[in-house]
Chains A and B, each alone.
Chain A
Amino acid sequence: MIPQKVDYKRAGSVAEALSLLSANPDAKILAGGHSLIPAMKLRLNSPSLLIDIARISELRFIHEQDGGVKIGAASTHHDIVSNATIRELYPAMAEAGELIGDTQVRNVGTIGGSIAHADPSADWPAVLLALGATINVEGPAGAHDIPASEFFTGFFSTALEEGEIVTAITLPAPSAAHQSAYKKFMQPASRFAIVGCAVAIVADGGTITDAKVAFTGVSDAAFLDEAVAAALIGQPAIPETIEAAANAAAEGDIHINEDHFASQAYRKHLAKVYAKRALVEACGL
């Protein structure tokens, strides 16, 4: 149960949700609630008002757009993994979605809620970074877009301004030789990522022409590992390339998480192993 008293309002539209939010600065947006409600139970979060946007129909859709896909923020994880287009175009999305929580969580939890919450161990952020997604946001000043690479700014924090909500996520059209994969080493009890690695590569005639490699769980926010990408681009898609690139993972000047389950050294080690496994799959080796 939730200790603190809280009011609940169900918004019928994005406009209504925004106006409720601007009238109640202490309010929180509630979608599936699978990040927020557990946090409220632990008294980590005590809003005075919850604005439920889960049933706003203009937020729950998945459709193709300019060769890519646009996903409404209130789409559940289950909606996403069971979408045929997403499965075909972005294997990493399907792989990541299937590893979120469990059946019950995937039936209720939403992608918008997950990324707005920005848990450092959540799965979607890494995938959105690797795929070069754009986060569509609406707020008092109107609608605008934030590239995923600028969205996840730190420990449970995002580029969302006061009064703004995530309305959709846009995945760009993949090029013909695009491949993606997501591999995760999960905390066995919570099923959150100790290390999750998403990769998206373009391999043209055996040469890697573009690559993005992103991690979650490793640091205080999901991040693109430029060093790994740099070691891939321009190289042949062969095991030696992958080995060398994976070994560059999680090096450099980044904070590495540590807990009773996995030390910093072990996390760093896992980052390399999972980069390798994700790259092997994406390169079809």
Chain B
Amino acid sequence: MSKFITILEGLDRRWIFLAMAISVAGPILFIGITGKTLPETPTPTARAVYRAIEALSPGTPVLISFDFDPASGGELTPMATSLVHQCAARGLRMVFIALWPLGPQLIDETIKRVILADYPKLKEGVDYVNLGFQSGNESVMKVMLTDFAKAFPITKNGVAVGDVVALKGIQRVDNFPLLITISAGYPGAKEWIQYVISSSGGKIKMVTGCTGVQTPGLYPYYPVQLNGLLGAIKGAAEYESLVNSSLAPKDTSAAIPAKYLEAQRRMGPQLGAHLLMIALIILGNIAFFAQRNSKVRATS
């Protein structure tokens, strides 16, 4: 036992790194080979996101803000895929914007992955439009409250927003019944709530998908200012399972494409990493108490 404690006390952190690599790589390989994913039970916050989109009638405009960059793509890209998937299937008019400089590229990738691949009938500029990035953070939000076209005068392709059919009837941001933000930090979901939702007097509903770090800070706004919340990859997996079950092809033998299972696939590595973390905390505490007891014995 004392030998085990000595090993624990002097454990090189490279062993911990190796253990983490194995606990993450193992499930990735297993899921990659077998194609099996862990079952998910959607929580009320994920159901609320699904219901908020489902409640809109086809043709309704929705504002989708990509407030993240590739660094958070691991958590947020699967959410973006599922959100756009549900919006496209529902026939909503999707207006994409970005308040982060690398957002427009992520919008393009999502459009390519979901809309161009699976909804080729949807027309750019009519059924969806990418307005690109605008600098200014909260100030852009404030301008959108009074004049949407001033905040985003042209699309990413350089077309004046006045000529875009998808923006018909949109003068102010509160003309959108629903705002979806995929948020990784500042500016993001919190700023949207503070500057747009609070000022709109309840005209706009908002749902968000955010990183795990942001999630605890957004719970206080749910369910009044924030109508739905997808927290980290767990929230993404829950929502993904909801969307997949509702949009599942009638022919049950047809497999769901891997791109629509990304969040659920990532729950495997998350399980491995969480179990390792718990094991490490327990081992660290065993070493700590053993050390403390030996010190007490030595002094007495």
A in complex with B: no
Residues of A whose CB lies within 8 Å of any CB of B are: none
